[in-house]
């Protein structure tokens, strides 16, 4: 019985192909939009988490000022001193290492090739706080740090633009007015969501950068590694208390430094992308309801058109339950076809849009199955009333219908 009903439903749909297509258009758009939005939203969230992870986990970034910039046009907040770095290492519980940084922009030159980049002066603790493995070579050692030797570790972008694919290890190039020996090549990290190209960097001992570029012992940024056994919020509170004391800030004065927790940034950005995905998906889901209403309207028209057919079936012995099942199956088949076409269109759209958004294409079976199941449910919900109306027809009245 069910097989025969299914065949009858397909024949009815095939008799009116254009009308059937227009009927399922709302379901196609709804399913396609929902699957596309959810998939791209999940891919964006994953990309954000990956970018934050590339900055390091369990890291506190400490900068002078109340934000990433000076802001407000007031006096420049004081920089940190090497003594602040030592105090944090010794007095704040839960800190594994502190990497001070002094940065400036320079032009790097090698064999007629030049490239504007950022030079980052730091210590070997930088590679402990923010694990960044080397593709080749080594990091600088304690004697090189202490003496402020002109040795450097370069990122992939600098290597590509200066050395044009050649092995840079052991070569000497000029950074500003300083000749620097390449001792290490960093692995590729790629773009950071708000930090630009992470591979466009030259890392040198901080004393070399302070002595030959900035001319000051000031520290512009500190990366503080936090032990996994400690809550970053507790370490952040202790760090804030220590820095306020060292910078002579009174009880009523605002901090003239800021501390960013990379985990908090990750949670905030992930929450934002998830919320936006949910809102857009909810808007797209309205198309499913509109599609369901379209199916109900067309099925009501179909019942009216086929009143004599229904009357004949009832007159020769069909029961109301069989008529109801016939029209209900027809509505479900229409809705499922719309869902299937919507899924195909969604995958095509995702493949096309993902490279533009610079996110990875990931197939999520769960959301595809859920969307298809919802399309089937819509067929049941919006097809039941027309099917019930067909089953309730009086055979005599149906046979008299013109």
Alpha-carbon dihedral angle through residues 93, 97, 98, 103, given to the nearest 10 degrees: -160
- Confidence check: pLDDT of 60 > 70: yes
* pLDDT of residue 71 exceeding 70: no
Cα distance between residue 121 and residue 103, in whole Å:
6
pLDDT at residue number 348? 93
Q: Which of 66-75, 172-181, 364-373 has the lowest mean pLDDT?
A: 66-75
Give the DSSP H/E element, type plus range, for residue 362: none
Distance CA 373, CA 385 (A): 20
- How far apart (Å, rounded) are the C-alpha atoms in residues 118 and 105? 4
Distances (CA, A) of 294 to 25, 213, 288: 9, 70, 10
- Of the ranges 156-170, 251-265, 279-293, which one carries the lowest mean pLDDT score? 279-293
| Whether pLDDT at 232 is above 60 | yes
Separation between Cα atoms, residue 130 and residue 53, nearest integer Å: 10
Q: What is the arithmetic mean of pLDDT over 362-391?
A: 83
Enumerate helices (H) and strands (E) in the chain, giving the number of each. Answer: 13, 12
What are residue 21's phi and psi, to 5 degrees?
Answer: -65, -45
Question: pLDDT digits over 3-25, tens only?
Answer: 666 676 677 777 777 777 877 88
pLDDT score at 158: 92
Give yes or no for residue 233 having a pLDDT over 80. yes
Q: What is the mean pLDDT of residues 133-158?
A: 90
For residues 101-107, average pLDDT: 91
Q: CA angle, corner 384, sides to 366 and 344, nearest 5?
A: 35
**What span, in angstroms and rounded, lies between the C-alpha atoms of 5 and 355?**
45
- Every domain of the chain and the residues it spans: 2-51+267-400, 78-255
Pairing of strands 221-226, 134-137: unpaired
Alpha-carbon distance 191 to 200, whole Å? Answer: 10
- Residue 397 has what pLDDT? 63
């Amino acid at each position: 019985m069910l097989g025969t009903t299914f065949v009858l439903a397909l024949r009815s749909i095939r008799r009116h192909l254009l009308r059937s297509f227009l009927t399922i258009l709302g379901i196609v758009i709804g399913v396609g939009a929902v699957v596309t939005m959810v998939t791209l939203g999940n891919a964006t969230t994953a990309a954000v988490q990956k970018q934050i992870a590339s900055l390091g986990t369990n890291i506190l970034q400490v900068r002078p000022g109340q934000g990433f910039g000076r802001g407000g046009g007031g006096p420049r907040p004081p920089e940190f001193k090497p003594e602040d770095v030592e105090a944090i290492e010794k007095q704040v519980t839960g800190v594994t290492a502190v990497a001070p940084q002094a940065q400036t922009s320079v032009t790097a030159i090698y064999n007629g090739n030049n490239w504007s980049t950022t030079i980052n002066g730091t210590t070997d603790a930088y590679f402990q706080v923010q694990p960044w493995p080397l593709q080749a070579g080594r990091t600088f050692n304690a004697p090189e740090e202490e003496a402020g030797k002109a040795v450097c570790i370069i990122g992939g972008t600098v290597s590509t633009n200066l050395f044009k694919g050649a092995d840079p290890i052991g070569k000497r190039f000029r950074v500003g007015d300083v000749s620097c020996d390449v001792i290490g090549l960093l692995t590729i990290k790629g773009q950071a969501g708000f930090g630009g190209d992470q591979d466009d960097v030259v890392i040198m001992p901080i004393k070399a950068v302070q002595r030959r570029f900035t001319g000051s012992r000031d520290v512009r940024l500190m990366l503080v590694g936090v032990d996994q056994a400690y809550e970053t919020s507790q370490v952040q509170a202790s760090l804030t208390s220590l820095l306020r004391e060292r910078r002579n800030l009174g009880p009523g004065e605002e901090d003239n430094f800021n501390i960013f927790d990379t985990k908090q940034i990750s949670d905030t950005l992930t929450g934002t992308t998830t919320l936006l995905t949910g809102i857009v998906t909810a808007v797209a889901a309205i198309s499913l309801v509109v599609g369901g209403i379209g199916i109900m309207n067309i099925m009501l028209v179909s019942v009216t058109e086929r009143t004599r057919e229904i009357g004949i079936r009832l007159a020769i012995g069909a029961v109301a339950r069989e008529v109801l099942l016939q029209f209900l199956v027809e509505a479900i088949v229409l809705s499922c076809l719309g869902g299937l076409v919507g899924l195909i269109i969604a995958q095509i759209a995702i493949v096309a849009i993902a490279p533009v958004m610079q996110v990875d294409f990931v197939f999520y079976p769960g959301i595809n199955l859920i969307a298809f199941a919802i399309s089937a449910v819509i067929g049941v919900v919006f097809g039941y009333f027309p099917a019930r109306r067909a089953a309730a027809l009086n055979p005599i009245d149906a046979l008299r219908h013109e």
